[in-house]
Structure 1
Amino acid sequence: MRSHATPASVRVRAAAKVNLHLGVGAAREDGFHPLTTVYQAIGLFDDVTVERSDVDRLELHGESWVETSSIPLDATNLAARAAALLSAHHGRPLPSSVSIRKAIPVAGGLAGGSADGAATLVGIDRAWGLETPDEVLLEMAADLGSDVPFALIGGTALGTGRGELVDPIADEATWWWVAVPNRVGLSTPQVYGHFDRLFPDADPVPPSADALIEAVVSGEPVRLARTLHNDLQAPAVDLRPELGELIDQGEAAGALRGLISGSGPTVVFLCDGADGAREVAAELGGAGHDVVLVANGPVAGAHVVHGLAGLGEGGVDG
């Protein structure tokens, strides 16, 4: 049950995602690629604080490993777009001060911008006591971007369409990851364009995620490692060969499997447990990678951590 209280300030936490499976079909006539993906939310978080205000404000702060200079603070920012969607839906101004504290690397294939958009939807809804139905929030999230609905839901989930149609997957395991971001981003449209050039005869139907889902349900890290799949890895590595070298390096350090996250350039490594993840992270850090992050998953979708306890640990209700 949601509380009917209306706090003056709400802080919402939203997680990074990795794609355990990313199957890409040939581009449709509208330019979009049909996707079959399995998302997992992992324990790297952005915090978004929303306060009711007289005017709209958007400010941004980043942890030391997050380069924020390329993030727009105008109406194109996903947080600003989320606020505009809520205002339009409810037919009234909802002036809010939105402060984003970023710990998810930018332009890295971890959907940090999507996390911020999802967190802003929840934060403004709760700060203004709007009680927007969850299904409406999910529709708004899909309007914002393919990864935003999952950022609301969290956990582990199957995504279809452009990734915006999300169905949770039963996942009782705890998976351990090492993430190595890159300070030089990689454009998602560029990676998809290179996919089209490398695979001009791609099947319009993306590869199935059935084997991956079975591995998730099994809870066996070695089995999951064998089924991890990303059709964008080949174009990303072709554009940035050092990413392939990093994958080899991490696997040599003991990771079960290395994988480009989404369109990259962040590389994630599945490990056999917490100790294994820390050992791989130490090895990669010692090899000169200045930012190496350890995280477990799955974790909750966008949820309130201060100001109102009405949204539980599972993200959007239901």
Structure 2
Amino acid sequence: MSKQRVIARAPGKINCYFRVGPPRADGYHDVASLYVAVSLFEQIEATLRTDGELQLRLDESSTVVSEPETFPLGEGNLVYQAAQMLREHTGISLGADLNIVKRVPIAGGMGGGSADAAATLVACNELWQAGLDREELGRLGARLGADVPFALMGGAAIGLGIGDQLAPLLTRAQTDWVLIPASYGLSTPRVYAMLDRLRMGQDIAVPQEIDPDVIKALLAADAEALSELLVNDLTQASLALAPELGTVRDLAEGAGALRAMVSGSGPTLALLVRDAEHATEVMAQLGDEVGVATLAVTAPAPGARVLLSE
């Protein structure tokens, strides 16, 4: 028997390590990524409809949508696509009102859309009592985007292939980060296209593994060691498209961050700090002296999960 209302959430992510290979024939790129989920969550509230309709709504409490009227609420939204895909896969004809609470920066390099999709899959699977396990949901999610399976999994994981071949890392050791969201987004395909342009004529190898020292530092929550090992191949492309990111990155490190890096395809910056106290100090300096907005988060965070089911 179906439920009446389900609330689920899924985390955003940062990449502590991100190597990108040359473009493949299918347009994707092979990567070697070390994902960590952070304590910044997208939330989906799914309410049952028996008429088969899927209706999306952006919640007023969303913190990262500056122009709500421009936010897509139709078939182009990953929330709609995830719910529709689940229905097609299971043959379920029920519908849902889907209320979206956005917390992860949009087009910010933190997998916010993928987290939306993951939370929707978990919420609708529970709402409609579809009975799919996490593995099945992960296979469905991978069809929507390479980061969706990780948003379902959470924690920390090595990602190979296009990022969808995941191997979880069993760690509870906490690392502390400060995020600097941008007032604009960067299209992931555009960033990859710029990377290919910048690399034209170069012989780029297909990445096969993660630097073991990065994994060791993350598992030990050794922030000082980890700060020396963070790498993101998309940085040069993000800076080419948004040169001001370089200035903000330098300001962040000048404010005491151990390391400031572009998160994924950007333009969100992720600042590694020693602990919560250090995060507060860095945030205060950036806010007081530079006027930069910041968010403190921790990693790892749990993957997509149901918060309420009734």
Taking structure 1 as the reference length, what is the TM-score of the superposition?
0.91
Q: Which residue of 1 aligns with 2:252?
A: 250
Instruction: Give the aligned residue type for 1:66.
Output: V
Q: Which residue of 2 aligns with 1:300?
A: 302
In the TM superposition, what is the alpha-carbon distance from 1:217 to its structure 2 partner? Answer: 1.9
Q: Which residue of 2 aligns with 1:115?
A: 115
Instruction: Give the aligned residue type for 1:18.
Output: I
CA contact (8 A) 1:34 1:162 kept: yes
Deviations 1:32-73, CA, capped at 9 Å, x for gaps: 111111111101111100111132211112534433454311
Q: Which runs of 5+ in 2 are unaligned?
A: none
Q: Which residue of 2 aligns with 1:224?
A: 226
Q: Which residue of 2 aligns with 1:27?
A: 23
Match of 2:242 among 220, 240, 243: 240
In the TM superposition, what is the alpha-carbon distance from 1:214 to its structure 2 partner? Answer: 1.9
In the TM superposition, what is the alpha-carbon distance from 1:252 to its structure 2 partner? Answer: 1.1
Q: How large is the RMSD of aligned CA atoms in angstroms? A: 1.6
CA contact (8 A) 1:24 1:207 kept: no
CA contact (8 A) 1:180 1:266 kept: yes
Distance 1:233 1:257 in 2: 14
Tell me: CA distance 1:37–1:122, structure 2 relative to 1, closer, same or farther (3 Å): same
Q: What is the identity percentage for the equivalent residue pairs of Structure 1 and Structure 2? A: 39
CA contact (8 A) 1:79 1:116 kept: yes
1:12 aligns with 2:8: yes
Secondary structure, counterpart of 2:105 in structure 1: coil
Distance 1:289 1:187 in 2: 25
Deviations 1:201-225, CA, capped at 9 Å, x for gaps: 1423127322311221222111111
Secondary structure, counterpart of 1:122 in structure 2: helix
Instruction: Give the aligned residue type for 1:178.
Output: V
CA contact (8 A) 1:40 1:298 kept: yes
Q: Which residue of 1 aligns with 2:293?
A: 291
1:206 aligns with 2:220: no
Q: How many residues align?
A: 304
Instruction: Give the aligned residue type for 1:60.
Output: L
Q: Which runs of 5+ in 1 are unaligned?
A: 309-318
Instruction: Give the aligned residue type for 2:154.
Output: G
Taking structure 2 as the reference length, what is the TM-score of the superposition?
0.94
CA contact (8 A) 2:30 2:162 kept: yes
Distance 2:92 2:269 in 1: 43
Which structure 2 residues correspond to residues 253-264 of structure 1 after superposition, within 5 A? 253-264=255-266
Instruction: Give the aligned residue type for 1:212.
Output: V
Q: Which residue of 2 aligns with 1:311?
A: none
Distance 2:286 2:25 in 1: 43
Q: Which residue of 1 aligns with 2:281?
A: 279
Deviations 1:76-127, CA, capped at 9 Å, x for gaps: 2111111111111111313111100111111101111110000000000001
Instruction: Give the aligned residue type for 1:256.
Output: L
Secondary structure, counterpart of 1:7 in structure 2: coil
Which structure 2 residues correspond to residues 56-71 of structure 1 after superposition, within 5 A? 56-61=54-59, 62-67=61-66, 68-71=68-71
Q: Which residue of 2 aligns with 1:316?
A: none
CA contact (8 A) 2:63 2:102 kept: no
Instruction: Give the aligned residue type for 2:206.
Output: V
CA contact (8 A) 2:160 2:208 kept: no
1:52 aligns with 2:51: no
